[in-house]
Structure 1
Amino acid sequence: MKHSTRQHHPYKDMLDSPEGMADQIAYNLGCPVTIEDANHHIVSYSKHESNVDDARTATIMRRKVPEHVVNGLWKHGIMSQLFESGEPIIVDSIDSIGLGNRLAVSVRNNKEILGFIWAQTDKVTVTTDHLSTIREAAQMVAQHLQRQQAKKQKSEENEKEFFWQLLTGAATNSEDIHKQAKRFGLHLYGQLCVAVFEFTEDTSQSVERHAYYLSETLQQTKIISRIFDDRQLILLVRTDNLEDANKMSQAFIREFTQKMKERLGFEDLKGAFGLVYDNPQSIKDSYKQALKVLELKEQFPVKLAEVDNYQDLGIYQFINELASLQKRENYKNDSLMRLKAYDEQNRSSLLETLKVFLEMNSNVHKAASHMHIHTNTLNYRLKRIREIGHIDFKDTNQKTMLYLDLLIQESEREDL
C-alpha cells in the first residue's frame, strides 16, 4: 500500500478536480475508487484499472449506480449503515448484484449525506491504514461537494420558483418557458405529468432528504424537478413514450410508497399523478388533477384505495361538481326518494341492493355473491325495486342517472 505518498500528493490540491481526487485516493489505497453524490450519480472514478466487477462497470457506463445494485445494498443493510454513521465499513461481496468486496464510507457535512466513496478491495487486505486513509479522503471530498452544493443551492432556489410558476400556471409563454428550462437544464419535452405524495404528518429534514434520495434512485421515470410543500412532495416526471407513460408513472408511485414504508415506516403515504401531456403549459393541469386524486382518495378511502391515476377515477372525477350542481338546482331523484321511504318504513335495504346491482354492471350472479344472498332473493328485491321506484332496468339512461345519484348521495354522507 502506498500510504506514505499522501504528503507528496495532498488531497487539498485536488479539491477543484474530482477526477484527480479519485485517482489520488485510489493511488493511496491501492485499489479502484468511485466517488458518488448523495443520489448515487458518479462524481468521479479512478482510471486505468483492470479486473473491475460488474457493479462498477455498469455504474461507470451509466454514470449512475444501477437501481438493482442500490436495492441490493439496501436489502443487505449496507446503505442503512452508511446513512447512520460516518465511519468506514467493510462490505463483503454480493454476487447477486455483481458487487465484489468493498471498503465504503459516507461523505457528510455533520449529519447531512453529501455522497459516498467506494473502493473495490478484491485484491487488497483492508488494514487500519486503509480505514484511516478513506476516512481522511471523505473529509476532503466533503469540502469539494460542499463547494459544489453551495453553487447548486442558489440555482435550485431559482429553479423552484420556476417550477411553482409552471404548477400554478403563472408561466404561459412557450418561448419564455423553454428559455427558462434551458437555463436550469430542465428537459421539458416528451411526456410530462405531475406526481404528488402526501404524508400524514409533518416531515423532518431527514425525511425530506430521504424522499429526495429515493425519488432520484428509482429509475422507472425521470424526475425533472421536485419540491416539498408542507406535507406534500411534488414531482415533475418525464417519460419518452406515451404508451408507457401511465404504466411507468403508476409503477413509480407504488414502488416509492412501498420503499418509504420499508425504509422509514410510512404506512399511510398516499401518491397520485395527473394526466400525461406533451407540453409544459399543461403541467398546471396535471398538478390540479393529482391533487384531486388525493382529495377523492381521502373522501372515498375504500372505493379509490387502489387508484393512483386521474384517468382511472372515472365518474369520480366529476362527482363533487355534480353534487354541487344538484344542490344549486334543488334536484331530487324521485325513484330513489321512493325507495328510501320504503326502506325506512319497512327496515329493508332496497337502495343498497340497487347500488350493488348497478356497480356489478347489472350482473345478478355477481351482485348476489357480493351481498352473500341467493339469486332468487336478489331477483325478488329487484322486482320490488322496479315496482316501487318505477325503474326500467333496460333503460341505460335511467340506470346511469340512478348510479350517479347514488354515488352523489354517498359522497354527501362521506362529507358529514
Structure 2
Amino acid sequence: MSHSLHPNNSFKDLFDSPEGLADRIAENLGCPVTIEDANHRIVSYSKHETNVDDARTATIMRRKVPEHVVNGLWKQGIMSHLFESSEPIVIDKISEIGLGNRVAIAVRKNKEILGFIWAQTNDIPIDAHHLQQMKDASQLVSHHLLRQQAKKRKTEENQKEFFWQLLTGTLRHKTEINRHAKRFDLSLEGQLCVAVFEFTEEMSQSVERHAYYLTETLHQTRVVTRLFDDKQLILLVRTNNKVDAAEVSQTFIRDFTQKMKERLDFEDMRAAFGLIYDSPDAISSSYKQALKVLELKEEYPKPLADVDSYQDLGVYQFINELSALQKQENYRNDTIEKIRNYDAKNKSMLLETLRVFLQQNSNVHKAAAHMHIHTNTLNYRLKRIKEIGNVDFKDANQKTTLYLDLLIEENERESL
C-alpha cells in the first residue's frame, strides 16, 4: 500500500462487490479505508494493510465499531458533525479510544444517512484534493448502500407486521411464532421483554433517526426488532441470562434515555418495560405491562418518577382496580375515619404520622427524620393511634390494608 494520497485519481467505474469498492477507494486515497452502514456495521474494508490503529483492528474483528469508540466520537463532537454536514472532516488522533488520524464523510441520500467512509491517514498531509476524493467516493458508495437499503426496508416491513402480531397476541402458538421468526432470521431464544419509549412531542425525522441509530449501536442488550407507533418506539429486547435480564433491560433504558438527551437535547420522554419471559408467546403480555407502566407514570408522576419496570410498580400495579372496587362497594376504612375525626377535633397530625410511618416501612427513626420530629414525639403519636384506631402494628395484614387505603386516598386527592 502506498504511503501517499493520490488526489488525481477518480472513481469512474462502478463495482458489483462492496469489497472491491473499499479496495478501490483505498487505492485512490493511498490509505486504509472502512465503509460502514448507518449503524456502524462494516459493509466493506480494504485489505492487506499495515500500521493500522487499534480502533480499526477492533472494528474489523467484530464487524462493527466498538461501542467505546462510537461514544468517544460522539463526545468529541465528530459524529454530530458527520450527521449534520455533507462535507468530509479531518480528525486528529484520539488516543483514548485507539483512533489514529482520519478523514471521514457521511454517505447520504439527501438528508438521510446511509453510512460512513473512514480513511486512516496516519501522518499524511490532507488538502482540498483529498477531501474532494472523499466526496467522490461517498457518491459511489451511496449507490451501493441504497441498493442494500431497499432490500433491508422490504424485510423490515414484513418484520413489523410479524412484530405487531406478537404484540397483539394474534400469533399464540409457539411453533407458528418460531416458523415466522426463522423466516425473518430473528432469534427469539433466551429472555424476552418489550420496552416502550414514549415521546411527548411529535417524532421528527431527526428524533426517529437517532432513536433507531441508538437501538442498533448500544451493545449491552440485543434489540430483536422494533417499530415506531405514533409517539412511541416499541422494542423487543433479548438477553441470554435470566438472572441479569432485568438489570440489563434497566441499564439499556437508562443509557438510551441518557444518550437521547445528550445528543439531541431531548428531555421529554418516558420509558417502560414489561415482565421478562422465556417464551415468545408471552410477548403480548410484556407489551401490555409496559403500556400499563407508562399509563401509571403519567397518572402518578411523583411516586413513579424513577420506576421503569412493571415488576417495580409494586402495589401500583393494582391501585386503580382497588380504587374502582372501593367506590363500587362504597367502602370505607373505619380505623382511618376514627383517626381523621380525632385530628379534626384536636388539630393533630396522627393520620399523617401513620401514613409516613407505614411509608417508611415502620421504621421509627426514618419516619421521625422525615417529619422533622423527635422519636419520642413519634412514639407518643403511635401510642395514640393504637388507642384511637385500635391498631396493632405487629399485624402485617392490618398494616398493609391501612397503607393501601391511605395510598389510594392520597392519589385520589392529587388527581383532583
What TM-score does the superposition give when structure 2 sets the normalisation length? 0.96
CA distance in 2, matches of 1:384, 1:4: 92
Equivalent residue number for residue 157 of structure 1? 157
1:297 alignment partner, SS class:
helix
The alpha-carbon deviation at position 147 of structure 1 amounts to 1.4
Equivalent residue number for residue 207 of structure 2? 207
- Which deviations, in whole Å up to 9, do the C-alpha atoms of 1:134-187 show, x marking residues without a partner? 101101111111111112112211111110111111111222211111111111
Equivalent residue number for residue 376 of structure 1? 376
Equivalent residue number for residue 83 of structure 2? 83
The alpha-carbon deviation at position 340 of structure 1 amounts to 2.1
Equivalent residue number for residue 387 of structure 1? 387
CA distance in 1, matches of 2:348, 2:13: 82
- Which deviations, in whole Å up to 9, do the C-alpha atoms of 1:299-323 show, x marking residues without a partner? 2222222222111122221111221
Equivalent residue number for residue 311 of structure 1? 311
Equivalent residue number for residue 322 of structure 1? 322
CA distance in 2, matches of 1:211, 1:189: 25
The alpha-carbon deviation at position 238 of structure 1 amounts to 0.5
2:236 alignment partner, SS class:
strand
CA distance in 2, matches of 1:361, 1:333: 20
Given that residues 36 and 116 in structure 1 are in contact (C-alpha distance below 8 angstroms), is that contact kept between their aligned partners in structure 2?
yes
- Which deviations, in whole Å up to 9, do the C-alpha atoms of 1:348-407 show, x marking residues without a partner? 322221111011121111100011111122122212222222211121111111111111
| More displaced 10-residue stretch of structure 1: 205-214 or 342-351 | 342-351
Equivalent residue number for residue 249 of structure 2? 249
The alpha-carbon deviation at position 347 of structure 1 amounts to 3.4
| Aligned partner letter, 2:387 | E
2:225 alignment partner, SS class:
strand
Equivalent residue number for residue 284 of structure 1? 284
Given that residues 11 and 21 in structure 1 are in contact (C-alpha distance below 8 angstroms), is that contact kept between their aligned partners in structure 2?
no
Structure 1: which 5+ runs fail to align?
none
The alpha-carbon deviation at position 276 of structure 1 amounts to 0.9
CA distance in 2, matches of 1:101, 1:265: 29
Structure 2 CA distance for partners of 1:56 and 1:387, relative to 1, 3 Å = same
Equivalent residue number for residue 44 of structure 1? 44
Given that residues 167 and 283 in structure 1 are in contact (C-alpha distance below 8 angstroms), is that contact kept between their aligned partners in structure 2?
yes
For residues 338-349 of structure 1, the aligned pairs below 5 Å read: 338-349=338-349
Equivalent residue number for residue 65 of structure 1? 65
Q: Say if 2:18 is the partner of 1:6.
A: no
| More displaced 10-residue stretch of structure 1: 233-242 or 319-328 | 319-328
Given that residues 274 and 286 in structure 1 are in contact (C-alpha distance below 8 angstroms), is that contact kept between their aligned partners in structure 2?
yes
Equivalent residue number for residue 127 of structure 1? 127
| Aligned partner letter, 1:172 | R
CA distance in 2, matches of 1:302, 1:156: 38
The alpha-carbon deviation at position 11 of structure 1 amounts to 4.1
1:381 alignment partner, SS class:
helix
CA distance in 1, matches of 2:176, 2:33: 43
- Which deviations, in whole Å up to 9, do the C-alpha atoms of 1:233-283 show, x marking residues without a partner? 111101111111111111111111111111111223221111111111111
The alpha-carbon deviation at position 123 of structure 1 amounts to 4.5
Structure 2 CA distance for partners of 1:11 and 1:196, relative to 1, 3 Å = farther
| More displaced 10-residue stretch of structure 1: 64-73 or 395-404 | 395-404
Q: Say if 2:114 is the partner of 1:110.
A: no
Given that residues 9 and 28 in structure 2 are in contact (C-alpha distance below 8 angstroms), is that contact kept between their aligned partners in structure 1?
yes
CA distance in 2, matches of 1:11, 1:282: 52
CA distance in 1, matches of 2:6, 2:131: 14
Structure 2 CA distance for partners of 1:343 and 1:299, relative to 1, 3 Å = farther
| Aligned partner letter, 2:240 | D
Given that residues 197 and 270 in structure 1 are in contact (C-alpha distance below 8 angstroms), is that contact kept between their aligned partners in structure 2?
yes
| More displaced 10-residue stretch of structure 1: 316-325 or 43-52 | 316-325
CA distance in 2, matches of 1:178, 1:285: 18
Given that residues 8 and 129 in structure 2 are in contact (C-alpha distance below 8 angstroms), is that contact kept between their aligned partners in structure 1?
no
The alpha-carbon deviation at position 3 of structure 1 amounts to 4.3
CA distance in 2, matches of 1:11, 1:207: 36
CA distance in 1, matches of 2:57, 2:253: 29
CA distance in 2, matches of 1:20, 1:236: 36
Given that residues 358 and 403 in structure 1 are in contact (C-alpha distance below 8 angstroms), is that contact kept between their aligned partners in structure 2?
yes
Given that residues 200 and 268 in structure 2 are in contact (C-alpha distance below 8 angstroms), is that contact kept between their aligned partners in structure 1?
yes
- Which deviations, in whole Å up to 9, do the C-alpha atoms of 1:173-227 show, x marking residues without a partner? 2222111111111111111111111112111111101111011111110111111
What TM-score does the superposition give when structure 1 sets the normalisation length? 0.96
| Aligned partner letter, 1:274 | G
1:305 alignment partner, SS class:
coil
| Aligned partner letter, 1:6 | S
| Aligned partner letter, 2:10 | R
CA distance in 2, matches of 1:349, 1:412: 20
| More displaced 10-residue stretch of structure 1: 140-149 or 95-104 | 140-149
Equivalent residue number for residue 174 of structure 1? 174
Given that residues 107 and 115 in structure 1 are in contact (C-alpha distance below 8 angstroms), is that contact kept between their aligned partners in structure 2?
yes
Structure 2: which 5+ runs fail to align?
none
2:268 alignment partner, SS class:
coil
Given that residues 33 and 46 in structure 1 are in contact (C-alpha distance below 8 angstroms), is that contact kept between their aligned partners in structure 2?
yes
The alpha-carbon deviation at position 342 of structure 1 amounts to 2.6
CA distance in 2, matches of 1:11, 1:209: 32
CA distance in 2, matches of 1:369, 1:171: 53
| Aligned partner letter, 1:64 | K
CA distance in 2, matches of 1:347, 1:204: 54
1:104 alignment partner, SS class:
strand
2:35 alignment partner, SS class:
strand
Equivalent residue number for residue 197 of structure 2? 197
Identity percentage of aligned residues: 70
Given that residues 10 and 136 in structure 2 are in contact (C-alpha distance below 8 angstroms), is that contact kept between their aligned partners in structure 1?
no
The alignment of Structure 1 onto Structure 2 pairs a total of residues equal to 412
Structural RMSD (CA) = 1.4
The alpha-carbon deviation at position 343 of structure 1 amounts to 2.7
| Aligned partner letter, 1:277 | Y
Equivalent residue number for residue 357 of structure 2? 357
CA distance in 1, matches of 2:315, 2:366: 21
| More displaced 10-residue stretch of structure 1: 301-310 or 275-284 | 301-310
